[in-house]
């Protein structure tokens, strides 16, 4: 259920003879985004970020979480030390997690209220990683800046929302 702002890391551009460009992105950046989104959601619920909480949300084993925490720490997206129960998002990590949650919730509004189809979490997860800010803001504007997603959660505001509320 949890997927995660495109980090523009490990992206290769493939030229297809002038017809269109394809972008191949490693699953690694999507995993990073999923973890940050999960941590942002934990904070949104007013809870402390813990290894067990991340593992539960993402339905993975705790050693896998610890391995990713080291990577996120090295990328300066979180602050974490081995043996410490303290896991904190950096401002950049928080921004990515929040953006991913915004993407998710706007896509859910699009599916449920505009397209009148059942929310397909797998499809949302596949799309949310590839949304650029300009697309997200355009979608938000098209949907008239919704504040609540179909699940009753607040949709984080974007730069497009400031003058239209």
pLDDT tens-place string over residues 54-99: 999 999 999 999 999 999 999 999 999 887 778 999 999 999 999 9
CATH 3.40.50.740 is held by the domain 99-161: no
Query: Residue 17: what pLDDT?
Result: 54
Query: Residue 25: what pLDDT?
Result: 52
Helix, strand, coil shares of the chain, percent, nearest 5, are 50, 10, 40
- Ordered per-residue pLDDT tens for the chain, 165 residues: 444 333 333 334 444 455 555 444 557 888 999 999 999 999 999 999 999 999 999 999 999 999 999 999 999 999 998 877 789 999 999 999 999 999 999 999 999 999 999 999 999 999 999 999 999 999 999 999 999 999 999 999 999 998 544
End-to-end alpha-carbon separation of the chain, Å? Answer: 30
**How would you classify residue 145: left for phi > 0, otherwise alpha for psi between -120 and 50, otherwise beta?**
left
Which residues in the chain are classed under CATH 1.10.10.10? Answer: 11-91, 99-161
DSSP-assigned beta bridge partners for residue 80: 87
Cβ neighbours around 52 below 10 Å, total: 10
Query: Residue 132: what pLDDT?
Result: 95
Query: Residue 44: what pLDDT?
Result: 96
Query: Residue 83: what pLDDT?
Result: 79
Q: Give the largest Cα separation in the chain, rounded.
A: 52
Q: Alpha carbon 82 to chain centroid distance?
A: 25
Which residue from 97, 109, 101, 103 is spatially nearest to 133, judged by alpha carbons?
A: 103
111 touches 124 (CB < 8 A): yes
CATH 1.10.10.10 is held by the domain 11-91: yes
Rounded to two decimals, the pTM is 0.81
Phi and psi at 16, nearest 5°, equal: -105, 45
């Amino acid at each position: 259920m949890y997927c995660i702002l495109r980090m523009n890391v490990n992206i290769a551009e493939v030229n297809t003879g002038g017809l269109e460009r394809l972008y191949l992105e490693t699953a690694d950046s999507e995993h990073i985004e999923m973890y940050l989104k999960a941590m942002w959601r934990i904070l949104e619920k007013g809870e402390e970020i813990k290894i067990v909480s991340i593992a539960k949300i993402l339905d993975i084993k705790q050693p896998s979480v610890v391995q990713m925490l080291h990577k996120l720490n090295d990328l300066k997206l979180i602050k974490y030390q081995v043996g410490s129960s303290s896991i904190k998002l950096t401002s950049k990590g928080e921004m990515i997690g929040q953006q991913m949650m915004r993407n998710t919730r706007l896509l859910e509004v699009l599916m449920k209220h505009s397209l009148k189809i059942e929310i397909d979490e797998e499809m949302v997860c596949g799309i949310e990683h590839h949304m650029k800010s300009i697309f997200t803001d355009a979608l938000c504007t098209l949907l008239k800046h919704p504040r609540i997603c179909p699940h009753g959660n607040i949709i984080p505001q974007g730069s497009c929302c400031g003058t239209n509320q």
